[in-house]
């Protein structure tokens, strides 16, 4: 399509990414946007379910999505109608069929085609393509396996519905694609009018049109050219809560997350929180979820069984008709002990700090949390490994009291040219990209460490064949200073990611290192901060051995060298 022009900054950034042959940046931007999904007017009126607009090409069915209303009209021409707006991660969480692909802006210079396993992988922040690293195919298979259990991202993008948000029901995989008519719902089909080599928008017929080009390759594909802040689309009415007053700091943070439309931040907060769980009639209040003899209290909501929890006594009193004694339980402990996938979880129902989570999604969330190190005590001693929250945080409990932040062991690789500043001049500060020590402890040679952290860029001070590499290690007593470096390589890419960092390649801007291996390592950025007393300087050798070189004495400050022995 020669006369197409980007309608949003994100579309412009996606085009520039593809012009630079940077598909990973393209998908990075895609994962941060809201998409438009076509729906029928009957669905808007509430007479039929929302369903899915699909396009069948040969034997493959695609879910259609667009990055702006202009893109949708350019692709569908006169067949473009109503649409609902949905963040990418919610689309991934509600993915209807593992055999379907996602088609983004088909026919435009910023088109992209994603198989179901990559839709799930991308929602977890991993933009690496199968051809980019050894063992990537096994990573793709693992992503698909996790998607089958629950299309979820570590810490929160797992299908949770905030109060008042729009949700699409699952659909039957066996139903044939059909034109957009009320009778064809809940699944509908649209012909992309500008498929390369296909009919023009003016002549497209209202039936599925297979493209003349071959189906996309086994991996995700983006056209060689940039998507998102979509234009307004028809959505469910937003609830209004003019008189709501948070009862504690936890509810204030949940309200801020809900108001910003950020389910991942909402659930990240919950995962590190303590909630109130009403005790079942006649149950022993001394037992806790997961312990022998514990009895779950369930409520009926829309004729479905729910376990309902609250973030304050005020929220519980508002909802329950009769007083009940609650127990305080950590959210992670609650979901780890989840008794039945047919039950759902409701948090503060009927409030702006409310959410629901299906039982099947809870199973996936527990698995994802385990992968990043969250246990039943998550929140009690700061963060233990979350790629989504990215830092230890003082977590407000249901009574409004905050837990004490615990220091997090961090480390930074130091170029040999900087050693003199530390050892000879007593330099005691650190800045730039840093990492949690526990996530890189298995990288025991200079080559493995440099590869996993993306240190082999052009002009890097770290030689690929170096015999040794130096590492600073310290305890981060102020973890809130260590921020996720969301951003990009250009102003447009940074804006599309809603970030704050611009860096040269191989920077990805998605919170993870640009690893050349299968390693998924959270990355943080810190402005110049003073290292604490006892900080360590280590030497890592090519044979896998390591040696403590010096310790920081902050009184000087000075680095005390450690004897070679």
How many other C-beta atoms lie within 10 A of the C-beta of residue 10? 28
Domain boundary among 177, 207, 222: 222
156 assigned to some structural domain:
no
* Domain co-membership, 428 together with 364: no
pLDDT of residue 161: 57
C-alpha Rg value of the chain to the nearest Å = 25
* Domain co-membership, 47 together with 131: yes
Residue 56 sits in which domain range?
A: 9-149+164-222
Give the largest CA-CA distance in the chain: 80
Gap between the Cα atoms of 354 and 351, Å rounded: 5
* Domain co-membership, 413 together with 548: yes
Based on the structure, what is the number of domains in the chain?
3
From the list 18, 2, 291, the residue with the least C-alpha distance to 10 is 18
Cis peptide before 506 (omega within 30 of 0): yes
* Domain co-membership, 534 together with 424: yes
Q: At which residue do the structure tokens 């412009």 appear?
A: 12
Q: Compute mean pLDDT per 10 residues along the chain, 565 residues long, and list them.
A: 83 91 88 89 69 79 92 85 86 85 91 87 76 36 34 35 38 26 27 32 29 45 46 40 81 82 72 88 87 90 88 90 86 90 90 85 72 53 34 33 65 90 90 91 92 89 89 90 86 78 87 83 88 94 92 90 69
437 assigned to some structural domain:
yes
189 assigned to some structural domain:
yes
Which runs of E-coded beta strand occur in 39-160?
52-57, 60-65, 83-87, 101-104, 112-115
Compute the half-sphere exposure of residue 420: CA atoms within 13 Å on the CB side of its CA: 1
* Domain co-membership, 28 together with 106: yes
Inter-residue contact 493 to 32 (CB < 8 Å): no
pLDDT of residue 192: 36
How far from 268 is each of 92, 157, 378, 450, 491, CA to CA, in Å? Answer: 17, 9, 11, 30, 28
71 assigned to some structural domain:
yes
pLDDT of residue 401: 38
Gap between the Cα atoms of 214 and 76, Å rounded: 20
* Domain co-membership, 367 together with 441: no
Q: At which residue do the structure tokens 């009403």 appear?
A: 278
Compute the half-sphere exposure of residue 70: CA atoms within 13 Å on the CB side of its CA: 13
Gap between the Cα atoms of 236 and 46, Å rounded: 10
pLDDT of residue 359: 83
392 assigned to some structural domain:
no
Gap between the Cα atoms of 259 and 275, Å rounded: 21
pLDDT of residue 110: 92
Which runs of E-coded beta strand occur in 271-417?
274-278, 299-301, 304-309, 326-330, 344-347, 355-357, 408-414
pLDDT of residue 269: 79
Domain boundary among 371, 389, 417: 371
* Domain co-membership, 260 together with 363: yes
412 assigned to some structural domain:
yes
* Domain co-membership, 344 together with 423: no
Gap between the Cα atoms of 511 and 505, Å rounded: 14
397 assigned to some structural domain:
no
383 assigned to some structural domain:
no
pTM, two decimal places: 0.39
b/e 300-327 (16+ beta carbons within 10 angstroms → b): eeeeeebbbbbbbebbbeebeeeeeebb
* Domain co-membership, 353 together with 461: no
From the list 42, 37, 119, the residue with the least C-alpha distance to 85 is 37
* Domain co-membership, 100 together with 186: yes
Domain boundary among 326, 350, 371: 371
From the list 528, 536, 538, the residue with the least C-alpha distance to 553 is 536
* Domain co-membership, 416 together with 541: yes
From the list 78, 68, 56, the residue with the least C-alpha distance to 4 is 68
* Domain co-membership, 292 together with 180: no
Inter-residue contact 521 to 440 (CB < 8 Å): yes
């Amino acid at each position: 399509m020669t006369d197409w022009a980007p309608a949003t900054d994100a579309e412009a950034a996606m085009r520039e990414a593809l012009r630079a042959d940077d598909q990973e940046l393209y998908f990075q931007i895609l994962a941060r946007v809201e998409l438009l999904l076509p729906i029928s007017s009957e669905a808007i009126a509430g007479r039929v379910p929302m369903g899915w607009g699909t396009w069948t090409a040969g034997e493959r069915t695609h879910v259609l999505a667009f990055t702006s209303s202009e893109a949708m009209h350019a692709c569908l021409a006169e067949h473009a109608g109503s649409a609902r707006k949905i963040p990418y991660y919610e689309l991934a969480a509600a993915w209807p069929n593992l055999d379907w692909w996602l088609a983004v802006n088909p026919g435009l210079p910023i088109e992209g085609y994603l198989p179901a396993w990559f839709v799930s992988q991308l929602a977890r922040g991993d933009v690496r393509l199968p051809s980019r690293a050894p063992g990537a195919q096994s990573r793709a298979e693992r992503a698909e396996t996790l998607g089958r259990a629950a299309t979820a991202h570590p810490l929160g993008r797992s299908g949770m519905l905030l109060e008042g948000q729009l949700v699409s029901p699952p659909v039957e995989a066996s139903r044939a694609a059909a034109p957009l008519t009320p009778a064809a719902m809940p699944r509908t089909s649209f012909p992309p009018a500008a498929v390369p080599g296909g009919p023009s928008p003016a002549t497209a017929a209202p039936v599925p049109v297979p493209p003349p080009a071959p189906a996309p390759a086994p991996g995700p594909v983006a056209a060689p050219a940039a998507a998102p802040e979509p234009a307004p689309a028809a959505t469910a009415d937003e609830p209004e809560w003019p008189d709501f007053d948070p009862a504690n700091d936890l509810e204030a943070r949940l309200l801020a997350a809900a108001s910003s439309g950020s389910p991942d931040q909402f659930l990240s907060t919950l995962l590190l929180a303590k909630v109130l769980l009403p005790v079942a009639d006649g149950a022993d209040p001394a037992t806790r979820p997961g312990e022998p003899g514990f009895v779950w209290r369930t409520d009926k909501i829309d004729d479905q069984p729910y376990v309902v929890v609250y973030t304050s006594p005020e929220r519980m009193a508002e909802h329950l008709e009769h007083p009940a004694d609650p127990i305080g339980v950590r959210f992670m402990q609650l979901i780890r002990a989840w008794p039945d996938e047919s039950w759902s979880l409701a948090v503060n129902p009927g409030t702006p700090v409310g959410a629901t989570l299906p039982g099947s999604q809870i199973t996936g969330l527990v698995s994802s949390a385990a992968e990043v190190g969250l246990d039943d005590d998550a929140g009690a001693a700061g963060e233990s490994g979350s790629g989504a929250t990215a830092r230890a945080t003082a977590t407000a409990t249901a009574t409004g009291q905050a837990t004490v932040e615990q220091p997090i062991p961090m480390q930074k690789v130091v170029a040999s040219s900087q050693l003199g500043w530390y050892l000879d001049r007593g330099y005691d500060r650190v800045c730039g990209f840093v990492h949690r020590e526990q996530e890189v402890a298995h990288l025991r040679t200079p080559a493995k460490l440099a590869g996993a952290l993306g240190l082999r860029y052009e002009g890097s001070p770290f030689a690929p064949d170096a015999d040794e590499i130096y590492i600073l290690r310290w305890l981060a007593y102020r973890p809130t200073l260590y921020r996720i470096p969301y951003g990009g390589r250009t102003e447009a890419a940074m804006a599309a990611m809603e970030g704050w960092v611009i860096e040269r390649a191989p920077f990805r801007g998605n919170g993870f290192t640009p690893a050349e291996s299968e390693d998924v390592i959270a990355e943080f950025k810190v402005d110049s901060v003073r290292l604490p007393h006892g900080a360590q300087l280590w030497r890592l050798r090519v044979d896998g051995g390591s040696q403590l070189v010096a310790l920081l004495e902050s009184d000087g400050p000075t680095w005390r060298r450690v004897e070679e022995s």
